[in-house]
Amino acid sequence: MSINRILTLFIGFLVLFSCENVKESASETSNNTQKVEKSEPTFGIVIHGGAGTILKKNMSDSLEIAYKEKLTEAISVGHEILKNGGTAMEAVTKTINIMENSPLFNAGKGAVFTHEETNELDASVMDGANLNAGAVAGVSRIKNPIDLAVQVMNNSEHVMLSGKGAEVFAETRGIELIDPAYFYTESRFQALQKVKQREIQNATKAVSNQNDPFIKNSKFGTVGCAALDKNGNLAAGTSTGGMTNKRWNRIGDAPIIGAGTYANNATCAVSSTGWGEYFIRGMVAHDISAMMEYKQVSLQEATQEVIQEKLTKLGGTGGVVAIDKDGNVSMDFNTEGMYRAHMNAEGELVLGIYKENQ
C-alpha cells in the first residue's frame, strides 16, 4: 500500500470519527436543551376571599357559583401575569384588584361597615426579594387600597400610612379620591344593623358580645394573595374592610406586616384572614416564615402548627394562604370555611369554600 493510500485512509477515518462525535455532542445538546425546557422555573399563585362560618347549608347555589367564578377570574389574572414572566408583586396586586372591585368580598367595594356606618379599609403588600413593604390603614376614599399600599412601599420612606394622611399621600401619587358612598352595599349595611341589634339584646341579658356566635360569625371576609414568579421572587398582599361594627378607628392585622402579610424569598409568602386581633398577637404570617427559617420545617408543617395549634390555642379563628420558594402551597384554616383557590404553573386550578374540599 502506498504511503498516499495509507494517509487517505487515515484522514477518512479521522473525518468519520469526528462526525460521530459531532452527532453525539449534538444529541447531548438537544438533551440539555430538553432538560432546560423541563426545568423551566416554576411559579404559582394562591388566594383567599375570607374565612369564617361558611356552611354549605347557608349558601345558595347561585351565590356559590358567583364566588367560584370570581375566585377563578381573579386567580387567572394573576396566573397569566406570572406565565408571561411578570413579577409576583404585579400578580398579587392585579389579582387583589379583581376581588376589591367585587361586592362579594369584604375589601374595596363590599367592605363591611364600622359602628359609625362608614367604611374604613386596610391593606398591605410585601416583596420577598428585598423585604420591602407598604401598608395603609383606615382609608375611606381609596377605591383600591392595595394600590396605595404599593405606592407607600415604592414612593415613600415609610411602611405604613393611615387615615387622612394616607389619602393626602394618595393624591400626591395621582390616585383619585372617591366618594365613600361607592363602598355601600345593602347586605353589608344590613349585617351591621343585625349586629347592633344583637348587642342591644345582649346588653339587656348581660351576655358578652365577645362570645356571641352570631356576632363572631358575622364579622369576617377579607381578600389576599401570595405568589411565586419565574425569577424565584415571592410576594404577598392583603386587603380588607376589617370587621363589622369596628369602632375607635380599630386597625386589624391586614395592614400589619408580619401579622396579615409577610413575604421572604428565603422561605414563603403569606396572607392571613380571620379575627385580626389574634393574628396580631400571634404574628401569624411572620411566624410561619420564621418556623421555616429557624426550624427548617416545610410550609405545610409550619402553617399546620401556627394555625391549628398556636392560633387555635390562643382562641383565634381564621386561616392563611401561603406559597413557598419551590411553589408548594398551603391553604390552612380552623374555621368552617375559607374562600380559596390555587393555580400551579401548569394552570391546574384547585378551588375550595368549605372545610371539606369542594
The three cell numbers of residue 54 are 361558611
Angstrom distance (rounded) from CA 55 to CA 47: 19
The three cell numbers of residue 245 are 361594627
CB of 119 vs ligand ASP, minimal distance in Å? 12
Residue number, 43 or 278, with CB nearest to ligand ASP: 278
Angstrom distance (rounded) from CA 257 to CA 235: 12
Check 87, 95, 114, 222 and give the catalytic one: 222
Residue number, 87 or 106, with CB nearest to ligand ASP: 106
Residue number, 50 or 352, with CB nearest to ligand ASP: 50
CB of 219 vs ligand ASP, minimal distance in Å? 7
CB of 289 vs ligand ASP, minimal distance in Å? 18
Helix ranges, 269-338 (H) = 276-282, 284-295, 299-303, 312-314
Cα-flanking dihedrals φ and ψ of residue 109, to 5°? -60, 125
Angstrom distance (rounded) from CA 344 to CA 328: 9
Biggest alpha carbon–alpha carbon distance for the chain: 121
CB of 120 vs ligand ASP, minimal distance in Å? 10
Residue number, 252 or 258, with CB nearest to ligand ASP: 252
134 Cβ partners below 8 Å, 6+ apart? 124, 125, 149, 150, 151, 152, 153, 154, 156, 159, 160
- How far are the Cα atoms of 79, 145, 154 from residue 161, in angstroms, in the given order? 30, 11, 13
222 is catalytic: yes
Q: The cell 398591605 sits on which residue? A: 124
CB of 84 vs ligand ASP, minimal distance in Å? 30
Residue number, 144 or 222, with CB nearest to ligand ASP: 222
- With beta carbons less than 8 A apart as the criterion, state whether 180 and 140 touch: yes
Nearest alpha-carbon partner for 48 in 254, 289, 266, 222: 222
Residues that bind ligand ASP (CB under 6 A): 50, 106, 220-222, 240, 242-243, 252-254, 273-276
- With beta carbons less than 8 A apart as the criterion, state whether 352 and 341 touch: yes
CB of 220 vs ligand ASP, minimal distance in Å? 4
Residue number, 78 or 260, with CB nearest to ligand ASP: 260
- Point out the residues that are catalytic: 222
